[in-house]
Structure 1
Amino acid sequence: MSRIFGAVCQNGYVVRDIHAAMDHWVKVIGVGPWYYIDRVKTDYFRHRGKASDVEMSIALANSGDLQIELIQQRNDAPSMYKEFLAAGREGLQHMSFWTRNYQALYDRALSLGYKVGHEGQIGGEQGRFAYFDTEAHPGTIIEISDISGSKGRFFERVRQEAQSWDGSDPIRDVKSR
């Protein structure tokens, strides 16, 4: 539990091959089902304050209440994902804290000196997210994500499906919103 952000709700892994990563999580770790979005449509995406046309695929699954996110960037646009891979890393890149009061948490983080590395929005204002430039070692970037809208309802569906998953239909394609 973070005294600033609350409970960690998601671990985000940046990978070079999202299909191989999903396969590993299903066959070796037994986590699924995976909800796969081939090309995420963002309303906007900014890297270090400048617009970026990042293209990415994501996959989501839960292990208990913890969501696992896999991210594969599909182009060379500036992002913290690209920086992570360019540093020779692959794997756990961030931990995400979810909120229904995004602006208050965002403002609090900024008031405490956190700097935004990249941020964006998916599916309207209630789909905002920000990654703070907090990486002291791989895997320690902090993301905050607004779950007050449709994204939160989708995340809850992913969590519920994982509770009763019997191993069938391990990869479920989702059309980008």
Structure 2
Amino acid sequence: MSGITVTPGQTSPHLMQVAFIVDDVEAAAKAWIATTGIGPFYMVPHIELTEMTYRGEPGEGCDFSVALAQSGGMQVELIQQHCDRPSAYRDTIAKGVQGFHHFCIYTDDYDACRQRYVDQGFVVAVDSKFGEMRFCYVDTSPALGCMIEIVEQDDAETEAFTRIAQGAADWDGVTDPIRPLFA
């Protein structure tokens, strides 16, 4: 497959993101920048999911913040859950513990991608929306040791992913290491 360039806003069956649960999203972003040189990180504070299904039942919602950065063809996502409600995040990473949580697939055939995992017997831990964009977390931890997030291709999301990738390509390693994604 040499010669193929994969970008975060490009849909295909590739893993485009690696995600970690952290205790403090801003402190974690600063640690990633200092340790790896990856950046800048784009912050989205206090995302409140009000309509979600948790393991097949109506969920209570979830309040979390994320920081996103690009490293080559892979996006890095740091997630801090602010509430104590049940979630896909707490299913595999306990409160007060930090660690790897999921890989993400960005797809223009959301229903077929999601169904592929369900047909294999995996449980959908969370179904929700961010704006009009659907996403879910499939609990593939019995097979992979982590979850898989599936995100539906959406023009606004593609623009945000492209902005994150371009920010990394243009970054001087110093200026504005932590930035708002949506200003």
TM-score (normalizing by structure 2): 0.84
User: Is 1:134 aligned to 2:140, yes or no?
Assistant: yes
**Kindly tell me: are residues 122 and 71 of structure 1, through their superposed partners in 2, closer, same or farther at Cα, counting changes over 3 Å?**
same
The match for 1:56 is 64
Distance 2:93 2:149 in 1: 18
For structure 1, which runs of at least 5 residues remain unmatched after alignment? none
Deviation at 1:95, TM superposition (A): 0.6
Q: 1:14 is matched with which residue?
A: 21
Cα 1:87/1:39, change in 2 over 3 Å: closer
1:71 to 2:79 alignment: yes
Match 1:91 to one of 95, 99, 110: 99
- Residue identity in the other structure for 1:149: D
Residue 148 of structure 1: CA displacement? Answer: 2.9
What amino acid is the match of 1:83? D
Matched, 1:24 2:31: yes
Say whether 1:146 aligns with 2:146.
no
**Contact 1:42–1:123, Cα closer than 8 Å, also in 2:** no
Contact in 2 for aligned 1:44/1:122 (Cα 8 Å): no
The answer on whether the counterparts of 1:43 and 1:122 sit within 8 Å (CA) in structure 2 is no
Rounded Cα–Cα distance in structure 2 between residues aligned with 1:106 and 1:82: 21
Look up the match of 2:169: 163
Identity of aligned residues (%): 35
Structure with more of its chain in strand, by fraction: 2
Shift of 1:99: 0.4
Task: Calculate the aligned-residue CA RMSD, in Å.
Answer: 2.3
Residue type at the aligned position of 1:78: P
- Name the aligned partner's letter for residue 55 of structure 2: R
More divergent stretch after superposition (34-43 vs 71-80): 34-43
Could you tell me whether the CA contact under 8 Å between 1:114 and 1:132 is conserved in 2?
yes
Counterpart residue identity of residue 158, structure 1: I
Question: Which amino acid in structure 2 is aligned with residue 52 of structure 1?
Answer: E
Give a deviation string over 1:75-108, Cα, whole Å, max 9, x none.
Answer: 1111021233328742211011110111121122
Cα deviation per residue 1:3-38 (whole Å; 9 max; x = unaligned)?
A: xx8211000101111111101111111111111011
CA distance in 2, matches of 1:149, 1:41: 21
What are the Cα deviations for residues 119-145 of structure 1, in whole angstroms up to 9, with x where unaligned? 211011xx1111111113885211111
Instruction: Please say if residues 15 and 71 of structure 1, whose CA atoms lie closer than 8 Å, have aligned partners that are also in contact.
Output: yes
Structure 1 counterpart of 2:113, one-letter code: L
Q: Aligned equivalents of 2:86 and 2:177: distance in 1?
A: 31
- Secondary structure of 1:169's match? coil
